[in-house]
Every structure is written in C-alpha cells, then in structure tokens.
Structure 1
Amino acid sequence: MRSSFMEKVKSCGVICFTQTKQPSFLLMKRSYRYDLPKGHIEPGETELQCALRELFEETGITKKQVCLELDFRFKTIYYPRYRRFGGDKVEKSLVIFFAWVSEELEIVMTEHNASEWVKWNPPHYFHNRIIDELLLTVDRQLIVKGKR
C-alpha cells in the first residue's frame, strides 16, 4: 500500500541580467528545454547561499561577479516526478534570486548542453511555465524600479 505522504524538495537559483545598453538574461539549455542555473539546497545552507553556489557550479559565475537585487525573491511550487523517489511526484519549492552582471560573461558548462544570453525584449514566452512566470515577475520589478 502506498503512502499519501509526498516528499518535499527545495531548489534555489539565480537569473542573471547584463547591465548593458541592451540587457540580456542567461538561460541554460538541456537538449529539449530551457532551464535556469539552480539546484537543491543542502543542509545548513540559506536559500541565497544555495542559489549562489549553484550559479557558480553550473556557470562559473562567482558571487563577486554579481550584484543582487536584494528585494527580489521569486517563489513557486510545482509537482514533478523524481527518479530518486521511485518516479513519485514531489512537492518542489523553487526560489529564484535576481542578479546583475556587467556583461555577457563566458559560461563554463558543467550540467547543461549549452547556454544562451537572450536579449531582453518582453514579453518573452518559452512555453515553460516557471520561466515565463519568472520573466513576467522580473518585468514588473524592472518597471517599478524605473529600469524599463
């Protein structure tokens, strides 16, 4: 008999934007979809520590190379299936922070097939609920701050 208990996991990451005349933002690519530099939080880590660690591990971008928008925190919950839990659905919390970088930095690939600096020209639609919602939230933040 299966339990109705659902495992909970949390991932944190960063969306990076360039501080250039025509800003762009970084997306990672897997063979079939776009993704963000993000990963699972480790015991004793804060959300921000996790996000910055994952950013470095997946892109080579260091915390010294980013300037965080400290009042931005995007959170969503979704229910993917996880192999490590026998293919069962889990409740996954995702927290994304926003950071500026000076330019389109060279990305060191470790976990993805490719990366792309996408020119900021909203609205953007990637047919990925999480990325699309995140970009709408970023756009609202930039409008409020007078940066768009």
Structure 2
Amino acid sequence: MRQVKSCGFIVMRTQPQLSFLLLMKHSSRYDLPKGHIEVGENELSCAFRELYEETGIAASSLHLDQTFRFTTIYQTSEQRFGLQEIAEKTLVIFLGWLKQDVKLQLSEHDAYIWVDWKPPHAIQKKTIDPLLAELEQHFHKNEIRF
C-alpha cells in the first residue's frame, strides 16, 4: 500500500468572533488548506506553502501555536495515472492564529467559509471533526479563553 503525507493548517481568528477557516472544494465537502509534502520539505514548510498557495495567507500573517499538532492516519482512494489506488494517508495539521484580517485569494477551491467556534462540531467525520475535538481539548488543557 502506498503511503502519502499531507500537511496543512487550521486557521483561527478572533474577530469579528472566534471562528476557523474551511475551504469548499465541492458543494458537499469542506476541507482545510493542506496538501502533499514535496521532496526536501518538512511538515511545517509544506503546511505554510499549501496555505499560501490555496488562500494567499502568508506565514507572516499567522501566529503559529507551537504546542498544537494534530495527526491522523487513514486509508483513502486516490486517482493516479488513471488508476484508482488505495493509499495510507498521514494528515498533519498545525494551528495558526491570524494576526490581522486578510483578503483571501483562492486558487484551488471555489469558496470558503468562516465557521463560528461552537463545539461540538459535526462537519466531516473522517478528519475535521476529530481535529476540532482535539483542538477543543487543547484550548481547555492550556486554559485558552476567548
């Protein structure tokens, strides 16, 4: 089984209210700014590159939370070279806080939404819901108040 790794960000903002960014690739599927790691990249540089490529958000516009790192492994079906291939995918997500309001410049997605932080969330069972549950625990454990 082929193994792949994808890295990205959950981007949070506190104004106008506490919320996080989701990209909408299809009418029924939301996602985070993320993508496959390239040769010579580490996880964080991949996440920053993908964030900039997909949203126009530069690394300088984010405050990186050094203590949060979400990882999950799951099986997925990918189209490669015209063939359906099963892969074991590792997903690594970092937490970034917007320093100021930014105008998003989408390159790979049709739309985006800011979702108010009102746990528990039920958005997507495979990756986003577990990420948000772990993020909620992170906020509670580190006494992050809003």
Tell me which interval the TM-score lies in, with the shorter structure as reference length: over 0.9
Q: 1:141 aligns with which of 133, 138, 141?
A: 138
Pairwise CA distance, 1:127:
3.3
Letter matched to residue 63 of structure 2: C
Query: Which of these two proteins has the greater Rg computed from alpha carbons?
Result: 1
Pairwise CA distance, 1:103:
4.6
- CA RMSD in angstroms comes to 1.4
Alignment-derived partner of residue 3 in structure 1: none
Runs of 5+ consecutive residues of structure 2 not aligned to the other structure: none
Q: 2:60 aligns with which of 56, 61, 64?
A: 64
Pairwise CA distance, 1:106:
2.2
Q: 2:39 aligns with which of 38, 43, 54?
A: 43
Alignment: residue pair count: 143
Alignment-derived partner of residue 107 in structure 1: 104
Query: Any idea what SS the aligned residue of 1:49 has?
Result: helix
- Answer yes or no: is 1:23 the counterpart of 2:23: no
What CA deviation, in whole Å up to 9, does each residue of 1:63-122 have, x standing for no partner? 000001111110001111111162121011110000100355321111111001111111
Runs of 5+ consecutive residues of structure 1 not aligned to the other structure: 1-5
Query: Any idea what SS the aligned residue of 1:100 has?
Result: strand
Query: Any idea what SS the aligned residue of 2:21 has?
Result: strand
Alignment-derived partner of residue 116 in structure 1: 113
TM-score (norm 1): 0.91
4+ residue stretches of structure 1 with deviation over 4 A?
none
TM-score (norm 2): 0.92
What CA deviation, in whole Å up to 9, does each residue of 1:24-64 have, x standing for no partner? 10000012200010000011101000000000000000000
Between Structure 1 and Structure 2, which shows a larger proportion of strand residues?
Answer: 2
Letter matched to residue 83 of structure 1: Q
Q: 1:91 aligns with which of 78, 88, 97?
A: 88
